[in-house]
Amino acid sequence: MSGGYNEIHPEPTTFISKYLISFDHKVIAKQFLWYGIFFLGLGGLMALLIRWTLAYPGVPFPVLGNLLFPDSAGIVPPDSYAMLFTMHGTIMIFYAITPILIGAFGNYCIPLMIGARDMAFPMLNMLSFWFAFLSGVVLITSLFLPLGAASGAWTSYPTLSTMIGSPGAGQTFWCVAIFLFGISSTMGAVNYVTTVITLRAPGMGYFDMPLTIWGLWLTAILNAIFVPVLGAGVILLTLDRVLGTTFFLAGASATSGSGDPVLFQHVFWIFGHPEVYILILPAWGIVSDLLSFFSRKPAFGAKSTALAMTAVTVLSTLVYGHHMFTTQMSPLLTQSFMTLTMTISIPSAIFFANWLGTIWKGSIRFDSPMLFSLGVVFVFGLGGLTGLHLGTVTTDLYLHDTYFVVGHFHYTMAASVLLGGFAGIYFWFPKMFGKMMNEKLAKLHFWGTMIPLNGVFFGMLMIGYGGMHRRIYNPFVYDSLKRLIPINEFVTISAILMGLFQIVFVINFLWSLKKGPKAPNNPWEVGTLEWTIPSPPVHHNYDEIPVVKCGPHELGNPNLKTGRDFQYQTEELVQG
């Protein structure tokens, strides 16, 4: 194949065309990275406010309290508390994880790792970022509305999210923001799917793609199919709120027809369950690659890892009902959903075993990206195993809506994706900015994140198992929960510690950006295509489109006579 959108575009010259409305996937990736890091900080601050309230109810939040809540002397008020956990969830999922993992790494890695000069549709890519930006503006604006932002949780179940449960414009702004973000995500999805299919370098079959690209590609497919489902849901919710329809309002008599609040839950989770895989698949892909790169070994069963991820992608569309076991679903349905949910363990166990097989007997280099990847293996293992309790109907009936659920999904979505994201940032920073990050600070950041992180999320599992509900403002008015005060304090202190250690990352990031030592072309000594070109790459990435001759994980080949222990994908596989 030739022609099409893989030509060398002239380099932009003005500030606006270079940095603002840039069509260059590398610049758009950086825009998404900054955007995501900004919202990660905001969502993290909200998390600290939530944790403070749960451990020290009625005590003013230190330092920022009086600034944020002047009317209540620095104490988080109950209505603001509901708003905080709603916005924390929304921001972290849609405005932090999605832009960093999918927006930044997707944009940066896909063209570079498959040997393309840009995305298939550069302008659509630019629009995707600016729609996300607009959406972020709408969401932030909603924080300053008279009745505050949305407070019906990130799931926005009616009737909490109808005009009865949430008067004021906050929830409507939320719907609009999510719809705009959906447009951005689906634009990205069109681009990613098309790019991976049509712009792979000559010689690169699907199984010669790095697993990072597999993860991002499967994510894009899920995005394209399921984000519109949420889109339909929030349109109907907006119509209910603004124009007076009654799609999700129960109450009218049986004869005159009635809306159905539970229908929204179905629509939400038909999207919502694939969404959690949308978030985790890129992290799985990145980790699958990095474990191999830093163990100096080929990825164990790379093909089966790719196929297992594909199987999870397919299965993820069939299990959404396990979020709704307590909605009086028919037992026939709950058991079907339970069985399908348990089936996901099989492909998950396959690639998990492959990860362990990859590091087994490797000559492991404990550089920071590897530390974070190993961290993902640990926390995702815990998150996956606690998922079994929630996917099983009998135990879920007890654990539903407790902090156990919060602990579980933070282990899978927050911890795994956060650590995976950091692994990616430390790994690709040299390529992105042409500078090296400080390795000592990176390791400090890892341990400072990893240890308190487990304190936070394992603590959540325990208080959940102890019976604490996930959305109460002050748990200690209940006698049965008083004994959980010490663990709640422990969780909060861990969260504050973890928050403080993120400052190390910010300092390292900004300092390295300015003063970091210049990065060589291939600092980690790996063979995928992006490391064959200068750091940072030139505007059109590749002067000559590379020809791929071997897979992405050819490390530690004993037949290599080149003095390196790896070979580039552009080199013929060395045989014995």
Partner 1 sequence: MKRADLQSNLAMTVTLIMGAMLFTTLFMGYAIYRSASTYWPPMGFAKVALGLPTFSTFLILVSSLFCYLARVATQARKVEKARLYLHLTLILGLAFMLTQGFLWSHLKATGVYVSSGIFASILYGFTWIHAAHVILGLGTLLYLEIVLKNTSDSTIRKVINVEKFWHFLGIIWLIMYFTIFVL
Instruction: Choose the stretch contacting partner 1; rule: CB under 8 A; options: 11-19, 252-260, 323-331, 366-374.
Output: 252-260
Could you count the other beta carbons within 10 Å of the beta carbon of residue 205?
Answer: 9
Binding status of residue 332 toward partner 1 by CB under 8 A: no
The answer for residues whose C-beta is within 8 angstroms of residue 64's C-beta and 6 or more apart is 45
231-250: contacts with partner 1 (CB under 8 A) = 231-233, 235-236, 239-240, 243-247
When asked if residue 73 is in the footprint of partner 1 (CB under 8 A), the reply is no
For position 560 contacting partner 1 by CB under 8 A, the verdict is: no
Q: Indicate whether 10 belongs to the interface with partner 1 (CB under 8 A).
A: no
How far is residue 182 CA from its own chain's centroid? 15
Among 229, 423, 504, 555, binds partner 1 (CB under 8 A): 229
Minimum CB separation of residue 10 from partner 1 in Å reads 19
State the Cα–Cα distance between residues 215 and 202, nearest whole angstrom: 21
In the complex, what is the shortest distance from the CB of residue 190 to partner 1, in angstroms, rounded to a whole number?
5
Residue type for position 207: F
Over the window 270 to 309, marking each residue x when it contacts partner 1 by CB under 8 A and - when it does not, the resulting string is x---------------------------------------
Q: What character string, x for contact with partner 1 (CB under 8 A) and - otherwise, covers 117-136?
A: ---xx---------------
Residue 136 phi/psi, 5° resolution? -60, -40
Q: Which is nearer to partner 1, 235 or 377 (CB)?
A: 235
Which one of residues 79, 202, 258, 346 is an interface residue with partner 1 (CB under 8 A)? 258
Contact of 494 with 455, CB cutoff 8 Å:
yes
Q: Cβ of residue 119: shortest distance to partner 1, in angstroms?
A: 10
Q: What is the DSSP string of 45-89?
A: HHHHHHHHHHHSTTSPPTTTHHHH-GGGTTPPPHHHHHHHHHHHH
Q: At its nearest, how many Å lie between partner 1 and the CB of residue 406?
A: 28
Count of residues touching partner 1 (by CB under 8 A): 45
Minimum CB separation of residue 94 from partner 1 in Å reads: 17
Rounded least distance, CB 7 to partner 1, Å: 10
Q: How far apart are CA 406 and CA 457, in angstroms?
A: 8
What's at 316, amino acid-wise?
Answer: S
Q: Cα-flanking dihedrals φ and ψ of residue 366, to 5°? A: -90, 55
The nearest distance, CB 162 to partner 1, in angstroms, is 13
Residue with tokens 């222990």: 565
Shortest CB 164 distance to partner 1, Å? 14
Work out how close the CB of 2 gets to partner 1 at its nearest, in angstroms, rounded to a whole number: 7
Are the CB atoms for 216 and 420 separated by under 8 Å?
A: no
Whether 103 contacts 109, CB under 8 Å: no
Q: 76 near 49, Cβ under 8 Å?
A: yes
Choice from 96, 139, 227, 299 touching partner 1 (CB under 8 A): 227
DSSP code per residue over 18-38: IIIS---HHHHHHHHHHHHHH
**Residue span 397-436 as binding mask against partner 1, x where in contact by CB under 8 A, dash where not:** ----------------------------------------
Smallest gap, in angstroms, from Cβ of residue 234 to partner 1? 11
Q: According to DSSP H, which parts of 148-255 are helical? A: 170-198, 211-242
d(CA 71, CA 40): 27
545 lines the binding site for partner 1 (CB under 8 A)? no
Closest to partner 1 by CB, 138 or 236: 236
Report the 10 Å Cβ neighbour count for 66: 14
Determine, following the binding rule CB under 8 A, whether residue 114 of this chain makes contact with partner 1. Answer: no
Can you name the residues that pair with 518 across neighbouring β-strands? 435
What CA–CA distance (Å, rounded) separates 382 from 461?
11
Q: Which of 91, 116, 216, 267 binds partner 1 (CB under 8 A)?
A: 267
Q: Do residues 18 and 67 touch, judged by C-beta distance below 8 A?
A: no
Q: How many CB atoms lie within 10 A of CB 257?
A: 8
For residues 80 and 69, is the Cβ–Cβ distance under 8 A?
A: yes
Among 5, 38, 69, 465, binds partner 1 (CB under 8 A): 5
Q: Which of 63, 67, 73, 254 binds partner 1 (CB under 8 A)?
A: 254
In the complex, least distance from residue 262 CB atom to partner 1, rounded to whole angstroms? 9
R_g over Cα of the chain: 24
Answer yes or no whether residue 488 interacts with partner 1 by CB under 8 A. no
Query: What is the closest distance, in whole angstroms, from the C-beta atom of residue 243 to partner 1 in the complex?
Result: 6
Q: Does residue 328 belong to the site contacting partner 1 (CB under 8 A)?
A: no
- Interaction between residue 261 and partner 1 (CB under 8 A): no
Burial 492-503 (b: 16+ CB within 10 A, else e): bbbbbbbbebbe
Nearest residue (CB) to partner 1, 214 versus 403: 214
Q: Is 157 in the site for partner 1 (CB under 8 A)?
A: no
Q: x/- site string to partner 1, residues 172 to 191, per CB under 8 A?
A: --------------x--xxx
Check binding of 205 to partner 1 (CB under 8 A). no
Kindly state whether residue 1 participates in binding partner 1, applying the rule CB under 8 A: yes
Q: Which residue has the tokens 């603590």?
A: 459
347 vs 341: CA distance, rounded Å: 11
Q: Which residues bind partner 1 (CB under 8 A)?
A: 1-6, 120-121, 186, 189-191, 193-194, 197-198, 224-229, 231-233, 235-236, 239-240, 243-247, 252, 254-260, 263, 267, 270
